Amino acid sequence: MRHLPGSVPLRTFVAGLAAVIAAVITTGSVLLVAGGEGRAIAAERSRSPASHAPTPRPDRVALVPDATLPSSRPVVGGPGEPVEPGKRGETGIGAGVKAAPPTLMAIAAAKVPAGTLRKIAKLPHVTKVAAVDGGTVSVSGTALRLLAVEPARFRPWTPAAVARHPDVWSALTGDEFVADRAAVKRLGMVLGAEYQLDGGPRLRLAASAALGLPGIDGVIGKELGRRLGLAEGVVVLIRGDAGLIDRSGVRRLLGGTSKVVAVRSAESAESAEAPAGRGPVGRPESYLELYQRSAGLCPGLSWTVLAAIGQIESGHGRNNGPSSAGALGPMQFMPATWKAYGVDGDGDGETDVWSAYDAVPSAASYLCANGAGRGGEKLRKAVWFYNHSWSYVDRVLSLADAYARAYS
């Protein structure tokens, strides 16, 4: 099999991944080969940083109460079009998909034949089986273990929250990279940045998600995986009754050198499939309701101020950055500010700067800490702290008044 200079042969992937899986089981922590816990991977910023959306005229104010609000980074129209929060450029993402992670994941030494997959599917307590491609690439000497998948076929194998995450599936249909959220934190990776593969092309980190697959750092599309030399059909995903599937039978069918690991327990499965929305704000269906609920975290703060900031900073999620200054997400937080004021608004256990469900209530928290709930000059000063420009303050409050008139 042909391998690019930046990719690692299959035997190394299997051996390395087996070691990682063992580490996950025994210690609950993972160290990347040639890397180390907390090692940051250098990245090149995207060549197209987002710019702030212009302030719309009052007659172009468009907050749509019944518009669907996606889990993160909404995309709306093109430059100069009126922004309707919650509407997306793409449609149908996540609709009607019944998704759940596999019960077991197995790594074989070679491509698993279709006949073997059928035999595994016939084992007692197995309900579904699929094979995907896998391999290892290297960035600055640090190994990243990847799966290469066909998005439509892989999507039912992900946690429900991932299946509903539009950026994941947008990235996988292009030549972009989706990282496991734990890998992003461990390696100091930056969403929207480009990473140079050793001896290979650059990959843009377009999204992160809690994939929940032991030892797997991220996912790319199948065609991109083929070009990078990842091994075809060597990772087998198995769903069935947790604790009842005959692992030795799976290993026997795949060969003696194969590795089989449990992906999750029955308890974590129940937790992963529990509906989101138990945080202080939850997951409303529209930006309008999200702004309104978030303002409730700061008594005295009008939701229209949050809506105005959301429009000016990103066009209600249309341009989420990174900006030229390094600001991130629909409310354009600088990383240090986010670290201090980030809120888990929807109660999913993550504080995600790219998620509107977290970013909007975090903006309310930050404004409130600076006295926004007191109104008058205190509000003006709080908005100034958000962006150190009095002209910015005037724009925010003028647009907030326009929203108030439109929704009075």
One domain for residues 287 and 214: no
Residue 302: the pLDDT is 95
DSSP 274: S
User: How much is the pLDDT for 41?
Assistant: 64
Q: Are 375 and 300 in contact (CB under 8 A)?
A: yes
334, two tokens: 């600088």
Burial of 145 (0-12, 13-18, 19+ CB in 10 A): buried
- For the chain, how many structural domains are there in total? 2
Q: What is the pTM of this model?
A: 0.52
Query: Is the bond into 9 cis (omega within 30 degrees of 0)?
Result: no
**Other Cβ atoms closer than 10 A to 370:** 17
272, 290, 325 — which closes off a domain? 272
Q: How much is the average pLDDT of 25-50?
A: 36
- Tell whether 318 is covered by a domain: yes
Same domain, 149 and 284: no
Q: Residue 154: which of 257, 246, 225 has the closest Cα? A: 225
Residue 138 lies in a domain: yes
Residue 399's CATH number: 1.10.530.10
> Is 171 domain-assigned?
yes
331 and 372, same domain (yes or no):
yes
Query: Quick one: 116 and 254 in the same domain?
Result: yes
Buried b (16+ CB within 10 A) or exposed e, 13-34: bbbbbbebbeeeeeeeebebbe
> Can you say how many angstroms the Cα of residue 263 is from the centroid of all Cα atoms in its chain?
19
Q: What is the pLDDT of residues 322-376, one digit of tens each?
A: 888 889 989 999 999 998 889 888 887 788 888 889 999 999 999 999 999 999 9
Q: Across all residues in the chain, what is the average pLDDT?
A: 76
Q: Are residues 262 and 291 in the same domain?
A: no
| The domain boundary residue, chosen from 229, 255, 272 | 272
**Is residue 72 one of the residues assigned to a domain?**
no
Both 331 and 267 in a single domain?
no
131 and 252 housed in the same domain: yes
Q: How confident is residue 315, by pLDDT bands cut at 50, 70 and 90? A: confident
Q: What distance lies between CA 138 and its chain's CA centroid?
A: 21
Last residue of a domain, one of 272, 287, 319: 272
Phi, psi dihedrals of residue 357, rounded to the nearest 5°: -65, -25
Distance (Å, whole) CA 152 – CA 167: 14
- Whether 26 and 108 share a structural domain: yes
Q: Which two tokens stand for residue 60?
A: 């172009």
Q: Cα dist. 15→32, 93, 123, 350 in Å? A: 13, 36, 26, 31
Tens of pLDDT along 20-36?
Answer: 433 332 222 222 222 23
pLDDT one-digit tens code per residue, 378-398: 999 999 999 999 999 999 999
Q: Is 30 inside a domain boundary?
A: yes
**Both 181 and 231 in a single domain?**
yes
**Residue found under tokens 């201090």:** 340
> Are 299 and 382 contained in the same domain?
yes
Is 58 contained in some domain? no
Residue 309 in any domain: the answer is yes
Domain that holds residue 231: 7-36+96-272
Answer whether residue 314 is part of any domain: yes
pLDDT band at 241 (very low <50, low <70, confident <90, very high): confident
Using alpha carbons, select from 168, 132, 169, 163 the residue that is nearest to residue 147. 132
To the nearest 10 degrees (0 to 180), the angle between helices 247-254 and 114-121 is 170
Are 41 and 142 in contact by the 8 Å Cβ rule? The answer is yes
Same domain, 258 and 282: no
Q: Is there a single domain that holds both residue 392 and residue 292? A: yes
